[in-house]
Every structure is written in C-alpha cells, then in structure tokens.
Amino acid sequence: MASKVTTKSRGDEGEDKALVYLQGQGLTLVERNYRVARGPSARGAEVDLIMRDRDGTLVFVEVRVRSGADHGGAAATVSRGKQRKCIMGAQYYLMNLREWPPCRFDVVAIDGEALHWIPAAFDAS
C-alpha cells in the first residue's frame, strides 16, 4: 500500500533535505521545529531549523518546498507574514539565552529537486 503524500510529509522531507545540506556546509543543528503557541489552538511563531554557523552565528532557517519553480518558486512564498512568524520565534528563543550571539535569517528554497540556500534572506527590521 502506497503512503499518501501530504503537504506536511512534503515539508518534513524538505526540512530533512535542508538539514543535511546545511550540515554539509558546516552548520550544526541546535533545534528543529521550534514553535511558540499564541493560544490553546493557535500557533504564534515557528522556526523550521535553528542552526549554528562555524563562526558562532545563530541561524534561524525557514524551509519552503514547492514542486516546481513556477510562480516565483519556493523562495517567493516567504511572505512578510511568514518572516514575522520566524522573527517572533527567534525572539522567544533568544529570551532563554544568557547572551545573544550574532543572528541571521536564512531561507532554504526547494523547487522540485533543486535546493537554493539564501543566507541572510531577511532581517528583523
């Protein structure tokens, strides 16, 4: 029996692929699927991957997956709202640290089989 491909399973697969790629680039995993609840049934913020770069920079990664690059591809789906959720997740995560390391927000866009890593894709402003 073939398993059904869902948006969630495709996203999880994309996160796995992004994680392996980023680790191959020298980043180490700190946390995966960091979520902050807004209420009993609502998500307030989320960060797909939190990684640490070789220089100590904490990297908050948004992973987007699309079957192809049409309509701008996966990178084009990182809306301002999606950026705000990632930024809010980063802020909550950082509140638990004694000292704040340098930080950045990266995007890993996967269009079909093509993976594109966009370091410093957006900032917290």
**Tokens found for residue 80:** 């301002």
Residue 73 has a pLDDT of 87
Task: Examine residue 55 and state whether it is found in any structural domain, yes or no.
Answer: yes
28: CB partners within 8 A, 6+ apart: 51, 52
pLDDT tens for 84-94 read: 999 999 999 99
Task: Examine residue 45 and state whether it is found in any structural domain, yes or no.
Answer: yes
Task: Examine residue 1 and state whether it is found in any structural domain, yes or no.
Answer: no
Number of domains in the chain: 1
Residue 21 has a pLDDT of 97
Closest Cα to residue 93, out of 48, 28, 42, 41? Answer: 48
Which domain CATH number covers 38? 3.40.1350.10
What is the value of pTM for the model shown? 0.88
pLDDT tens for 13-66 read: 889 999 999 999 999 999 999 998 776 666 678 899 999 999 999 999 999 998
Task: Examine residue 16 and state whether it is found in any structural domain, yes or no.
Answer: yes
Task: Examine residue 95 and state whether it is found in any structural domain, yes or no.
Answer: yes
27: CB partners within 8 A, 6+ apart: 51, 52, 53, 54, 59
| Residue numbers of the domain that contains 70 | 7-122
**Backbone phi, psi, residue 3, to 5°:** -80, 150
